[in-house]
Structure 1
């Protein structure tokens, strides 16, 4: 029977269905309609009253009327959903305790598998929230959580002195609205940001204790992840981060820093140089800076002419020689 999922037995559903067609019926009348004894029908009707699916009159004999299904049954469904949500929450808490207990009982466990976006998001938030000195990260699409959803927590941590160093893939910088609404506000509160044309993987490291990396680099591989504990593997990930950090180009809030002046490019030109150095395409630069495609091409050509460069690579190299990419 369809309503068994709500905890109603087949006989209870049979009585409720009959009662819908027989408002203000006695237990005997319902029993006759359902082929049950009066005592069984009376017991089932009382159960319906108790769970809100029927009402009982005060007369003798009492008469029963079915509650409106679209209200009463829907309320039962919602209550069951609330209980399921509470059960899911408890399972997540128990799973976290289980993982932690295993880690403590066997400190040689270096890697845990995280499955499902909620599990991954929860692990990353615990990891960053538990950092005491610094958080290091590679940021690149695709994303499990909405980009910028953790901005306020990050800014709060930065204000307490926890350093954040992030290397952004050029696709992350070019993500619509990402630079203006997420990256630059983070930089203004202390994030040290750099950009690379391409990063090998997504990565978050808290201090020198824990890291999270994708389960796979294949499409869809971000739906599962590894939680890496202190181990040679974590040391290798730290070395990878530092190597990419050294190769990356600084990404600064040039307007806030007031860069520019005699012999030095203005803020827009500095931003353009850094985006070119990171390998961003014209379309990505236009989205990031809020320029039209024609304006972007015109600015790039003017910059290359000023620097005497025939290619974008040469333009970035000339800018570096002039000290514009520090």
Structure 2
């Protein structure tokens, strides 16, 4: 008597508890195995109509599980599993916070009806964990209206320094003034000079500080976040709301900004212009980094530095840096 071979079990769904549908998880798993697929290929491999595939990809993008290139057609990439799960956890926490806010609003309404007064929660500072910090960091960039300030130093949490900073670029495109103070120690980090140049080309104002005491992000001078333990990238972060403490942090940023060296990008073909070289010399870059930035040889750089020393009356490289910084401050 012939026997029927049991069919292979369907892949176990592991993300359904966090609101991800089986079809969305299939698409995510596909992109984990095959980077850079266009929508048509994703639809073909999942046996979906283009419209249905677009809806699935849109849902995954809103959950922070996939990203895509600006090409037409775009190519899709899966976020690393740990990043995707963190994004799902953050979304779940947001839903829970909304439920709690509705509950508090109901309590406040009942309290006002009973006693005519409600005491509001006006916390000026708060300690945040990694998930809440990541959520707030994105929120600050998406809601900032006028000004975004940052102090940037090691350790860096950027997994790929070559990845475009889309949150920053979106803020700049809305007309937000973005100012970044960079610790000079980062200039030796591979790819960091290119990262600064790309951001500056998009409109970010950047200056180099000899040393920064801590990391900081301030949005519209109404909210700030500060990592409390630089030895622990996933450590606690202090959220500061409008207060004298926030005013002091803004003043510290302004003082550091005034003392820092402007970083400029040369836009013309002859990138080794006098002003560009002066800016790079005062930014703390070493000769090799300056050569790469200007696209010139070691001999050409040495000749131009020698010419600047004669022009400014500097006897040593150290004196040249001091005189160049003075001239930069005057400008």
TM bucket (normalised to shorter chain) is 0.5 to 0.7
Does 1:204 pair with 2:217? yes
Given candidates 246, 250, 255, the residue that maps to 1:243 is: 255
How far, CA to CA, are the matches of 1:270 and 1:95 in structure 2? 54
Contact 1:142-1:222 within 8 A present in 2 as well: no
- Cα gap change, 1:67 to 1:89, in 2 (>3 Å): farther
- Cα gap change, 1:135 to 1:309, in 2 (>3 Å): same
How far, CA to CA, are the matches of 2:95 and 2:201 in structure 1? 39
Q: Where do 5+ consecutive residues of structure 2 fail to align?
A: 21-87, 109-118
How far, CA to CA, are the matches of 1:213 and 1:99 in structure 2? 26
Q: Secondary structure at the match of 1:141?
A: coil
Give a deviation string over 1:200-235, Cα, whole Å, max 9, x none. 221111002111111223x22564322221122211
Does 1:83 pair with 2:83? no
Does 1:193 pair with 2:201? no
Given candidates 168, 177, 184, the residue that maps to 2:197 is: 184
Cα deviation for residue 298 of structure 1 reads 6.3
Q: Secondary structure at the match of 1:80?
A: coil
- Cα gap change, 1:82 to 1:202, in 2 (>3 Å): same
How far, CA to CA, are the matches of 1:140 and 1:66 in structure 2? 58
Give a deviation string over 1:233-278, Cα, whole Å, max 9, x none. 211110111001100111122225x8x9xxxxx7454334323323
How far, CA to CA, are the matches of 1:177 and 1:281 in structure 2? 14
How far, CA to CA, are the matches of 2:189 and 2:100 in structure 1? 35
How far, CA to CA, are the matches of 1:270 and 1:286 in structure 2? 15
Q: Who is 2:186 aligned against?
A: 172
Q: Who is 2:133 aligned against?
A: 120
How far, CA to CA, are the matches of 1:168 and 1:93 in structure 2? 32
Does 1:156 pair with 2:170? yes
- Cα gap change, 1:152 to 1:66, in 2 (>3 Å): same
Q: Secondary structure at the match of 1:193?
A: strand
Cα deviation for residue 172 of structure 1 reads 3.4
TM-score, reference length from structure 2: 0.61
Q: Where do 5+ consecutive residues of structure 1 fail to align?
A: 1-22, 25-56, 58-64, 261-265
Contact 1:209-1:230 within 8 A present in 2 as well: yes
Q: Secondary structure at the match of 1:125?
A: helix
- Cα gap change, 1:199 to 1:321, in 2 (>3 Å): closer
Q: Secondary structure at the match of 2:208?
A: strand
What number of residue pairs does the alignment pair up?
248
Q: Who is 2:323 aligned against?
A: 318
Cα deviation for residue 85 of structure 1 reads 7.0
User: Greater CA radius of gyration, 1 or 2?
Assistant: 1
Q: Secondary structure at the match of 1:254?
A: coil
Given candidates 239, 243, 248, the residue that maps to 1:231 is: 243
Cα deviation for residue 114 of structure 1 reads 2.4
TM-score, reference length from structure 1: 0.61
